[in-house]
Amino acid sequence: MHQRIEHLRAETTSVVVDVSGGVPVILHWGAALDHVPSSWQEGIRTYGTMDVVAPISMVPMNGDGFPGRPGLQVHRRGGRHWSPRFRAAGHAVTRGENCSMLESRAIDEVSESEIVCRLRLEDDGVLTASAEFRNNSDSPVMLNAFTITLPIAGQATELAVFAGRWSRELQLQRFSWPYGAWTSENRVGRTSHEHPPYLFALETAANEWSGQAWGIHAAWSGNHSMFSEWMPDGRRYVQAGELFHPGEMCVYSGESLSAVDVVGVYSGLGLNGVSRGFHREARRRLPHNVSRPRPVHLNTWEAVYFAHDEARLRSLADVAASVGVERFVLDDGWFGGRRNDRTGLGDWTVSREVYPDGLAPLVSHVRELGMEFGIWVEPEMANPDSDMLRAHPEWALITDGYEPVMGRRQHVIDLTNIDAFEHVLGALDALLADHDISYVKWDMNRWHVQGSRLDGTAATHAQTLAVYVMLDELRRRHPLVEFESCASGGGRIDHEILRRTERVWTSDCNDALERQYIQRGASMIIPAEVMGSHIGPARAHTTGRRLSMAMRGVTAMFGHMGVEADVTAMGDDELSDLRHVIGVHKRFRSLIHTGESVRFETFDLTAGAALSHGVISTDRSEAILAYVQLASVQAPVAPAWRIPGLDPERDYVVRMVPLTREAVPVPGTAVDQPAWLRASLADEPQSMSGAFLRDVGLVPPVMWPESAVLVHLSGS
C-alpha cells in the first residue's frame, strides 16, 4: 500500500502522519522539518518476525500484527470481535485559528465499528491527540482499554515521572528507559498524588535548558494509565489514557466513546521548553476569570481548624485586610453539625449553632474590609453521620452486599444518581445565590474504593463526568464565581480540571522547604497563576519545621499567593514582614502570572543543597528570580549562578529585592550579611548583559541554610 503522508508543522515542531493504512500512524513527532519525503520507512523487518512491520499507530491493533500493548481492547458477548482491524475511510487536514488539524476515519466492516482520530497542532508546538470509537452494530461492545499512542524517537533513552504522596506531591523521578514495558496506573478515582498522569521522555544529556525532551499528559481527572515500551526492534512509544475497571465501559449500538485527550509537547530546548508548552495549553483551557490579577488569599484552616467562632473570624479578617490580603476563604466547619471530621459532611446548610444569624454578617464584614469572600466545600463526599446519608443511604458510592472500606470517616456520594446529583447541585446553587461568594474551594478527600452504582457496575468514569457536569452547571449559573481544585492538596491537578477551575491547591503542606520541591515539580506542568501557594505559620503544620518569614514569603511568591496561619497571633514585627512580602508579591504579580516560569541548573541539586528558579517576561525585558539555599554545603561560596533565557544583546539592571523590612535584618538572608560576603549580588544595582548572565552569571551570597534571595532584572 502506498503511503499518504500529511505534515502538520509549527515553528518548532513537526508531526508527520501516514493516513493510508487505517488508523493514522505518526511517523515523526519532533523537531520542525522543512521538507518531508514522499515515502517514509516506519520500521525494518527482522528475521523471526512477521512479513510486514506493524506500525505504531495512534491506536495500535493486535489484528495488524502489532506485538506491543493494543490501544483498543474490545470484545462482544462471548469474546467475539476481540481483535478488530481497520482500513482507511477518509481524512481531512484543515487550518484553524493558530493551529493545524487532521481528522481521519477508519472502519472495520467485520466488527461493524469505526475509529475517528484527531490531531491538533498549535502554532506554539503543543499537540493534542484524541480518538473516538463508534459502535455501528446492533450489539454492545465491551471496552477494556482505549488509549492514545505516541511514538518517541530512539534517542530518548531516559524517562521522568512524578512520584508523591499526601503533603509531598510531584517529586520528579528520572531514570534510564528500561528495556520492555514500564507502566504507571492509578485507580483511586482522582488524578492522584501517587501517580500523576504526566511522563517525560528525554535524551540522556537533556537538562532544563538544552537537549530533546517530550512531555505526555493524559488530561483526565479520574483513573488513568501511563505506559511506555522499548520494543525488541528498538522502537519506543508511550500510551496514555483512561484506565477502566472491569466491565465499566460498554458502548451500545449506535453509541460512541471518546478517549481522553492526550497533550504532547516536544522541545529541543530541554525541560523548560516542555514546561512552556504545558503552560500555554493550560492557559488556553483556563476559564476567562483568570485574566484578572489573582487575589492574595487568607484561608482559615490552619488558623481555626473546626473551631469556628464569628468574633474570632472577624478579627482574623481585620488583621488579614491590614496586611494586604484580598480574599478571605472560610474553610471546613461552617455547615451542619460539622464540628470535627466525623460528622456533618454532606449537609450543605449554614450551621445555626455556630452562625445563629447565618453567614451574611461575616460575609458583609469581609466585604466591608475590601476583601472578597470564599468558601470551602466537598460536594462529592458525606459522612455516614450526616442528615444526607441518614435520609438517603443509597446515595453512597459503595457496593451492595459488602462492608464499605472507609476513608477519612466518609463515603463518596454517587453523583451518577440523578437524585443525589440534583440534591448536591441545588444545595451549592442556593449557597452561592444567597451569599456574596466569589470563590469556591472544591475539595475531594477520599479515594474511590469498590465504588458502584445501584446496578452494581463500576462508577469512576461516570462519576468523573458528573463532577465535570456539576462544575460546568455551577459556572453557567454563577459565571463570576471562581473555583479551586483541591484533593487532599495536589491530588487533582490535570489539564482537564483546568477547563473548570482558576486555581489548584498544590499541597496541604505549607512548609516552605518542602514546597520548594513540590512547586518545582508543579512548575513543570502548570503556570504560576493557578498554583496555590500559601505562607504558613512560623512552625509548619505538617512537619513541625520552623522557618523565617523571608523563606516562607519567597516560596509563596511564585504562585497564586495566600496566607494560611493565625495572623491574630503574630507579633507586630512578623505582621510587618508579612505585609512587606505581600507587597513585594503584588509589585511583581503581573510578571509572575503572565511570564514564562523557568528552572535553573543549580549547585548540588541532587544533594538538596540549593534550588533556583523564576519568571522571565515573554518579551525578555524583565525577570524575577529566586536562589534558595536549602541546606549547608562543604564549600561556603557556591559556583556562579548562570541565568539563560534572557536577551543576550540587552543590558539588565540587577537588583536584590529585600524579602523583609530593610530596617530589620532577618538572620539567614543576604540583608544581614557583611559586605565582604555578598559577592556579585550587591546592595547597589549593577548592569550586566544577558550574554554575561548566561555565560558567567551571578555569584550567590554566602547564605545560611533555609534562606533565600530574590533578584529583579530589568532591561535597560
Q: What is the CA radius of gyration of the chain?
A: 27
The answer to whether the beta carbons of residues 273 and 286 sit under 8 Å apart is: no
C-alpha distances (whole Å) from 403 to each of 331, 399, 400, 410, 445 are 31, 8, 8, 13, 20
Identify whether 508 is a catalytic site residue: yes
Distance CA 170, CA 208 (A): 17
Sign of the Cα pseudo-torsion (263, 267, 270, 275, in order): negative
Given the residues 108, 508, 511, 577, select the one marked as catalytic: 508
Q: Which residues of 34-62 are buried (b: 16+ CB within 10 A; e: fewer)?
A: eeeeeeeebeeeeeeeeeebbbbbbbbbb
Judged on CB neighbours under 10 Å (0-12, 13-18, 19+), 694 is: middle
Q: Side-chain half-sphere of 552: how many Cα atoms within 13 Å?
A: 27
C-alpha distances (whole Å) from 527 to each of 129, 218, 435, 495, 520 are 22, 18, 31, 11, 11
The beta strand positions in 79-167, using DSSP E, are: 87-96, 99-108, 113-122, 126-135, 141-152, 158-165
For residue 605, the 8-state DSSP code is G
Given the residues 108, 261, 443, 577, select the one marked as catalytic: 443
Q: Side-chain half-sphere of 74: how many Cα atoms within 13 Å?
A: 29
For residue 421, what is the enclosing H or E element? helix 418-434
Distance CA 26, CA 23 (A): 10
The answer to whether the beta carbons of residues 99 and 168 sit under 8 Å apart is: no
Sign of the Cα pseudo-torsion (467, 471, 472, 474, in order): positive
Q: What are phi and psi of 374, to 5 degrees?
A: -125, 165
Identify whether 443 is a catalytic site residue: yes
**Other CB atoms within 10 A of residue 632 CB:** 11
The beta strand positions in 19-112, using DSSP E, are: 25-31, 72-75, 87-96, 99-108
Distance CA 119, CA 125 (A): 12
3-state secondary structure of 676: helix
Query: Who's near 174: CB < 8 A, 6+ residues apart?
Result: 158, 159, 160, 202
Helices (H) then strands (E): counts for the chain: 11, 35
Query: Who's near 635: CB < 8 A, 6+ residues apart?
Result: none
Distance CA 309, CA 314 (A): 9
Query: Who's near 390: CB < 8 A, 6+ residues apart?
Result: none
Query: Checking DSSP bridges between strand 651-657 and strand 707-715, what pairing results, if any?
Result: antiparallel
Distance CA 384, CA 380 (A): 13
Q: Side-chain half-sphere of 100: how many Cα atoms within 13 Å?
A: 17
Q: Which candidate, 543, 532, 627, 523, places its Cα nearest to that of 272?
A: 523
Grid cell 517530550 is found at 214
For residue 112, the 8-state DSSP code is T
3-state secondary structure of 263: strand
C-alpha distances (whole Å) from 140 to each of 78, 79, 136, 416 are 11, 12, 10, 21
- At 561, list the grid cell: 499567593
Q: Which candidate, 2, 33, 3, places its Cα nearest to that of 15?
A: 33
Active-site positions? 443, 508
